[in-house]
Amino acid sequence: MQDYKQQFFNLALRKGNLRFGEFTLKSGRLSPYFFNAGGFDDGASLGELAACYAGAILNSGVGFDMLFGPAYKGIPLAAATAVALAEKDANVAYAYNRKEAKDHGEGGVIVGAPLRGRVLIIDDVVSAGTSARESIELIRNAGAEVAGIAIALDRQERGEGERSATQELTARHGFPCIAIANLEDLIRFLGQFRDGGDIILGNHGGQEKDPLAAMDLEAIERYRERYGA
């Protein structure tokens, strides 16, 4: 497993953004794990998360000229990832959108660099794909090309059909979806602790209790077998 995947899972556990138990999802499914991408809420964890995005993006080999962060969660993610990429000698421009057009000053809905060339969307997750569709429309209307979308965790669950949300997005629009990690990676990562591995808790923003106390790897594997794409 790539270092950035290990780093991502350790970070999510430290911050309490990856939890185990019983969680009812919007789909109505009862999930044995829950990931909250909005919980990377301090400078250290956001910087570390951005380094994971940068690692996944560069490892994917996808060519791109700039980043785009959909309002609202994508805005800090795109900005932080641009910084992380620059630290890896891959300096690129970034932009984001407003929910409502501004009619004074620079005006418009796009803030930052003009949308041009191959644009990589940075977001937290892909669920129904609404945010992605809006971003695709904005980018293409500006005369630019969507290079792909990068997200934090791909749950690899079926939607209404046999495909997952990320698979549907790729099939519909023809560009790749890059995830820092997916459900298969999570199961592989958790298998280390079932086999006696140690978690790296760190000391910034972490939870005091054992984040793996409620983890049931067999339940997660059964969930994958039932709902996996």
Contact 47, 74 (CB under 8 A): no
Concerning whether 73 is annotated as a catalytic residue, the answer is no
* List 26, 99, 104, 209, catalytic entry: 104
Contact 122, 78 (CB under 8 A): yes
Give CB contacts under 8 A, 24+ apart, made by 88-93: 88/54, 88/58, 90/54, 90/58, 92/64, 92/65, 92/66, 92/67, 93/65, 93/66, 93/67
Secondary structure of 1-31 as H, E, C letters? CCHHHHHHHHHHHHCCCEEEEEEECCCCCEE
* List 5, 15, 88, 102, catalytic entry: 102
Q: How far is residue 168's CA from residue 163's CA, in Å, rounded to a whole number? A: 6
Concerning whether 88 is annotated as a catalytic residue, the answer is no
Site of tokens 């000229």: 65
Residues with a catalytic annotation lie at 102, 104
